[in-house]
Structure 1
């Protein structure tokens, strides 16, 4: 059981080819179709998944969204996979119960721990963030040396390494960066201490001569400036957020679930947190911009 005070923010806003078969499997066809007007459910351990939510909101302007950040249990990356699976299942169950037409697992640790179970458990499409990033990295690398940075849980799971195995010419260097998420969850995305930490974490990738780095945690795009500074401008950073939004669009379209924008009507954007609602609201406003219009607490418990 996950217990916590929530908050609701309602806002209004005016080799890649070798992976193609995996992409088709990733779309999780609907067996009991909900309405196209139903919301898209997105969840993460905290605020990192807001990078994915923002891309979905920008690219799919007709979609309503329910986002849950499990900040009471953040970070997921230092927890056993079984615990992450339990937490993710509780949140996804609630999103399905609330009528969501799709689940977006906007957390690499949860994707690694929970994805297979989710696709067997739910009759709606389930989209994750790992495969889109892998496909993008394979398509942009020039020297076939790719770095992956993520939480300890994601790196230990081997989820990225398994998918990159479909491209045998690619050399992968994976590095856990466990202290990045706590910094971000405190709203710290720059500074001397963070820069020093990044230099330590990224040294093995620089030594390996990677030309592409996958930001294997949805929090990490918020550290793009620091990571790019350390790695150098000639290294391409791959974020799963935009690629995941494209996969969401494709899945909704193929399942006849895409909500078209209605002139004069703004979709509802609902953001909830299992932790401190004021802190979550502050970070959400910072990362999503001025479109966040208000916050209200909800006395809800996630089962």
Structure 2
């Protein structure tokens, strides 16, 4: 039965807006509520226990708004919290970004050699290698923490000299071995806005995968017959825990459109 209630999406900051945009583009009739926990970003350098606590609080805030589906648009929170949140908030479906990203990487790779760049927390948790090996046991997976990319993306430095230098520093060691990966996973939702700088440092022919589009497809599949009425024009509501002006300024880089600072609701978790 058609369900007009909104889909909730959260991240530690504005990076998850890449996932929000992909959902909005694919499902324009769905109402979306996005929460950026900007007062406590980044999650990627926090302990697993802290990330789970923060993620649970963010999810609680969205569940309280009567959402019909929850998307964890943060790789770190997805890596450590998806099963826990799925159990806690059942029967509300909970979708993270790691599993769809792993599936996309396997589909893109010709050789089974896959590289991942992500935050410290995501790399430390081994979430992507586990998700990939669960589906493709023979895959060869290498990882690198590219934490500086988060700050560069948040500052909107998408093609600066600092961004290009960081890309060289992170990527060249990953692709310097005898068996070079043919696929790179952008394992953080902040990274797609840096894709031009990242692409410039990749060997020719390497596929670059981010989980936003695949996650949007997973959302569409999970909705099934609970999708919004076809004649409904979907809306997007933004929530943040701090800094409406900065959220609007940086968020438009990820959303590809202006975000009204005055319409951003500041909440306390």
TM-score of the two chains, using structure 1 as the length reference: 0.84
Is residue 105–residue 185 contact of structure 2 (8 Å, CA) maintained in 1?
yes
Are residue 206 (structure 1) and residue 175 (structure 2) matched?
yes
Aligned pair count? 265
Are residue 187 (structure 1) and residue 156 (structure 2) matched?
yes
Secondary structure of residue in 1 paired with 2:124: helix
CA distance in 2, matches of 1:66, 1:215: 24
2:113 corresponding residue in structure 1: 145
Alignment RMSD (CA, Å): 1.6
Secondary structure of residue in 2 paired with 1:231: coil
CA distance in 2, matches of 1:55, 1:297: 20
Once the two structures are overlaid, the 10-residue window that deviates more, 181-190 or 127-136, is 181-190
1:223 corresponding residue in structure 2: 194
Are residue 296 (structure 1) and residue 263 (structure 2) matched?
yes
Is residue 182–residue 206 contact of structure 2 (8 Å, CA) maintained in 1?
yes
Once the two structures are overlaid, the 10-residue window that deviates more, 124-133 or 293-302, is 293-302
Once the two structures are overlaid, the 10-residue window that deviates more, 56-65 or 136-145, is 136-145
Q: Which has the higher contact order (CA 8 A, sep 6+)?
A: 1
Deviation at 1:293, TM superposition (A): 5.0
Deviation at 1:275, TM superposition (A): 1.8
Change (3 A) 1:299 1:285: closer
2:41 corresponding residue in structure 1: 74
Secondary structure of residue in 1 paired with 2:117: strand
Is residue 40–residue 66 contact of structure 1 (8 Å, CA) maintained in 2?
yes
CA distance in 2, matches of 1:246, 1:223: 23
Deviation at 1:287, TM superposition (A): 2.5
Change (3 A) 1:163 1:300: closer
Is residue 238–residue 263 contact of structure 2 (8 Å, CA) maintained in 1?
no
- The unaligned stretches of length 5 or more in structure 2 are none
Deviation at 1:297, TM superposition (A): 5.0
Secondary structure of residue in 1 paired with 2:33: strand
- The unaligned stretches of length 5 or more in structure 1 are 1-32
Deviation at 1:50, TM superposition (A): 0.5
Secondary structure of residue in 2 paired with 1:232: coil
Is residue 40–residue 102 contact of structure 1 (8 Å, CA) maintained in 2?
yes
Is residue 30–residue 233 contact of structure 2 (8 Å, CA) maintained in 1?
no
